[in-house]
Structure formats: structure tokens, C-alpha cells
């Protein structure tokens, strides 16, 4: 197990390293990085100064080594716009994103698991059909449109919720619903199909034959066994929420990492983009690893070599 963990950590480190290399080289493929990341009205003299200051005049091997050494020390350079260390700027926006993702994840589980369990327990009932319809629709509705529609109905029309920003708990409602919708749909579908699998097992029939109360059979015996893939999906979906945050945060002016990254891309603030790429790769690889480990922990039959 320890060996497996060590190998996976090494692998994750390699992935992060390769991801940084890929993005670093992409800026050269895309043409002159200086012109790319400076506004069009910059004078030639300013461009030269900028080149010299950021070391863009050095051979790319030198630039690459310098960049990687900095990255290892947690130094990605300063934001081209704000002039402060890019890493600090991104990290300071992290709590807002984590809070939103956490609330959205809790919300989607609170809706999806009961829906999945009841749908499976009453297969082919009206509730099941309604549930399936909702999940299919939930997967087809893009988050950014759902967000806009919520803003229109609750902020513009009914005027009961703020359009964006972060302050009171009211600010959480629309962004977390938007972010939760897609994830909830996936969880509900998975829970339903896993429950259907489990409910057909012999031990469920035994539990029922013993005369146990149906809710006890459903939640204690069945759900526990059906929850394994759901837990795995949880870790993977947390990573997807980080991707979804890019769009949701932009719509609701949520002061998190996603919105900051979109602005950095629009402003061509390359150090900030690299930090965003770096942190996403670290976090996402970490979550993938966590998914594998919880899977092994919950199901002792699985042994990683």
C-alpha cells in the first residue's frame, strides 16, 4: 500500500511537471509571448524593456530552467497586471472557490441521493420517471444558461436575490444551485443504478424476509453497499466543480479562482495563468488519487499492487 502511494505520488508529480512544461511551451508555439501578453498599443521601446526585464531575450532553455526553478520554490513571478506575486494572488481567492464548491457539493448530494434511492426503490413509478427526466434534463442544461435564467427570474424579475458578488448566505443560493445541477444529475443516475444492482442481491431478500422495516433495509443494508462508486465519483466530481467554477464564478461575479483565471486569460497575464494551471493540476491529481485510495479503503477486496 505504501509503495503504491509512493508510486502514485511520484506519478502525480510527473504529471504536474509535464503540465507546466506543456503550457510553458504553448506560449512559444503561439508566437511571440511578449506581443501576445502585452496590449497592442505598447511602443517598441516598452516591449524591449519588458523583454529584458522578464528575460524573454534569453534562449528558451534558459527561460525554461529559470521558470522551473522558480516554480519549485513556489515563485511563479509577479502578475503582469497587479505587480504582486502571482501565487499569492491566486491563493487569496481560493477560499471563496472552496466554499462555493463545498456548498454546491453538499447541495447536490442532499438532493441526488434521496432521489436516486427512492427512484430505485420504486422503479417505474411516476417518481422514478420524473427523476430520470430531471436527471437527463439536468445533464443537458449548460450551467451558464441555468445561471443566467436564475438571475433573470430571481434577481431581475422577482428581485429577491442578489445578482452576484459574495457577502451574505443569499449570495450563495444561485451560484451553488447552478454549480450543483449537473453534478446532482450524475449522482442521482449513479445512485439509482447502483441501488438497483444492490436491491437484486440475495442479502437484501434475506433482510426483507427477516421482517426488517423497509426503510432500514433500504438505507442501512442497500445504500451502504451502493455507496462505493458514489464516494469515488465524489472525489472526481469535486475536480469537475473546479472547472465549472470558471463559468459559474464569471456569471455571478464570485470573487474566486475561476473568475480570476478567466480575467487573467483575457488580460494575457501569463504568470497568473501558469499558477492557475499548476494549482489545478496539483489539486485534480490529488483528488484522483484520493478517489483511488477511498475506493481501496472502502472495498478491502481491491488491492493495489
Kindly tell me which of 64 and 212 has the beta carbon lying closer to other proteins.
Answer: 64
Q: Give the number of other CB atoms < 10 A from CB of residue 303.
A: 9
Q: Nearest CA to 71 among 13, 31, 12?
A: 13
According to the binding rule CB under 8 A, does residue 201 interact with other proteins? no
Q: Which three cell numbers stand for residue 38?
A: 502585452
Q: Which of 6, 9, 13, 136 binds other proteins (CB under 8 A)?
A: 136
Q: Which three cell numbers stand for residue 270?
A: 501569463
According to the binding rule CB under 8 A, does residue 23 interact with other proteins? yes
Q: Which three cell numbers stand for residue 198?
A: 444492490
According to the binding rule CB under 8 A, does residue 285 interact with other proteins? yes
Segment near other proteins (CB under 8 A), from 88-96, 98-106, 265-273, 290-298? Answer: 265-273
Nearest approach in angstroms of CB 255 to other proteins is: 17
Segment near other proteins (CB under 8 A), from 18-26, 58-66, 100-108, 201-209? Answer: 18-26
Nearest approach in angstroms of CB 210 to other proteins is: 28
Q: Distances in Å between the alpha carbon of 80 and those of 45, 75, 84, 187, 271?
A: 17, 14, 8, 41, 7
Cα-based angle 14, 90, 55 (whole degrees, multiple of 5)? 70
CA distance 218 to 216: 5
CA distance 165 to 171: 7
The residue ranges that bind other proteins (CB under 8 A) are: 11, 14-16, 18-19, 22-23, 26-27, 29-30, 36, 136-137, 139-145, 148-149, 151-152, 156, 193, 196-197, 239-240, 242-244, 246-247, 250-251, 261-262, 265-266, 273, 276-277, 280-281, 284-285, 288
Amino acid at each position: 500500500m505504501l509503495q503504491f502511494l509512493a508510486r502514485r505520488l511520484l506519478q502525480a508529480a510527473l504529471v504536474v511537471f509535464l503540465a507546466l512544461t506543456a503550457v510553458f511551451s504553448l506560449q512559444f508555439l503561439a508566437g511571440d509571448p511578449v506581443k501576445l501578453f502585452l496590449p497592442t498599443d505598447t511602443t517598441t521601446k516598452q516591449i524591449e524593456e519588458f523583454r529584458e526585464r522578464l528575460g524573454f531575450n534569453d534562449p528558451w532553455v534558459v527561460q525554461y530552467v529559470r521558470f522551473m526553478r522558480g516554480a519549485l520554490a513556489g515563485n511563479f513571478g509577479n502578475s503582469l497586471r497587479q505587480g504582486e506575486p502571482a501565487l499569492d494572488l491566486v491563493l487569496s481567492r481560493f477560499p471563496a472557490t472552496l466554499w462555493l464548491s463545498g456548498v454546491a457539493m453538499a447541495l447536490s448530494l442532499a438532493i441526488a441521493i434521496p432521489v436516486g434511492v427512492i427512484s430505485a426503490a420504486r422503479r417505474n413509478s411516476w417518481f422514478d420517471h420524473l427523476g430520470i427526466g430531471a436527471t437527463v434534463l439536468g445533464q443537458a442544461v449548460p450551467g451558464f444558461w441555468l445561471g443566467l435564467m436564475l438571475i433573470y427570474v430571481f434577481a431581475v424579475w422577482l428581485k429577491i436575490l442578489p445578482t452576484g458578488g459574495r457577502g451574505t448566505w443569499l449570495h450563495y443560493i444561485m451560484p451553488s444551485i447552478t454549480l450543483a445541477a449537473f453534478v446532482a444529475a450524475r449522482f442521482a443516475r449513479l445512485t439509482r443504478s447502483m441501488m438497483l444492482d444492490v436491491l437484486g442481491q440475495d442479502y437484501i431478500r434475506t433482510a426483507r424476509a427477516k421482517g426488517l422495516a423497509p426503510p432500514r433495509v433500504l438505507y442501512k443494508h442497500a445504500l451502504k453497499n451502493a455507496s462505493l462508486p458514489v464516494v469515488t465519483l465524489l472525489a472526481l466530481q469535486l475536480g469537475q466543480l473546479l472547472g465549472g467554477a470558471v463559468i459559474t464564478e464569471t456569471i455571478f461575479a464570485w470573487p474566486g479562482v475561476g473568475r480570476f483565471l478567466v480575467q487573467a486569460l483575457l488580460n494575457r497575464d501569463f504568470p497568473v495563468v501558469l499558477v492557475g494551471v499548476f494549482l489545478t493540476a496539483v489539486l485534480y491529481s490529488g483528488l484522483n488519487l484520493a478517489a483511488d485510495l477511498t475506493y481501496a479503503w472502502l472495498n478491502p477486496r481491491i488491492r493495489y499492487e
